[in-house]
A = this chain, B = another copy of it.
Amino acid sequence: MSLPFASRDDRKAVESALAFAPKFDENGLIVAIATDHVTNEVLMVAYMNEESLRKTLELGEAVYFSRSRQEIWHKGATSGHVQKVKEIKTDCDQDALVLKVEQIGSGCCHAGYPSCFYRAVPLESDVTATDGDYPLTQQSEQSYDPDAVYKK
């Protein structure tokens, strides 16, 4: 049951009305943030065009638009590591989406981690001139071998 998106003509209504009026940017994309439905930790940040958003709503699984490949990207379609959508939220001006998902498999990140956000950035109060640049802190270990999953 695919329905039209609501008009964005009335800015106040976009913020306060209970009608879905997503805003796609000049590239036809809206940012979509996948979070773990239990811990709320951010798993990854990706983008959707209208077609991938509609497929997400239809399937109940996250479907993105790959900016590098310029194509629809049903996350996990080949590996089986799909993201089951438990809830979708939109923000005040409806130009961003948060997906609460159940990540199937051992992680969402192509680099082998449970989350793409596996490194922390120090504040300036935590660095010294001898560091040369901002040293990141590794926060989680790889949960699977990406070569085995993606290259075999």
Q: Which of B58, B109, B123 contacts A60 (CB 8 A)?
A: B123
* A116 within 8 Å of B (CB atoms): yes
Closest approach, in angstroms, between the C-beta of A94 and any C-beta of chain B? 9
Q: With the chains together, A111 CA to B13 CA distance in Å?
A: 12
What is the interface residue range for chain A against chain B?
35 or more
Q: Which of B88, B110, B121 contacts A88 (CB 8 A)?
A: B121
A55 (CB) vs chain B CBs: closest residue: B124
**Do the beta carbons of B92 and A20 come within 8 Å of each other?**
no
* A97 within 8 Å of B (CB atoms): yes
Q: Please indicate the chain B residues that have their CB under 8 angstroms from the CB of A133 in the complex.
A: 3-6, 19-20
Q: Which of B89, B113, B117, B127 contacts A90 (CB 8 A)?
A: B117
* A145 within 8 Å of B (CB atoms): no
Please, what's the 1-or-0 string for A1-33, where 1 marks a CB less than 8 Å from any CB in chain B? 111111000000001111110000000000101
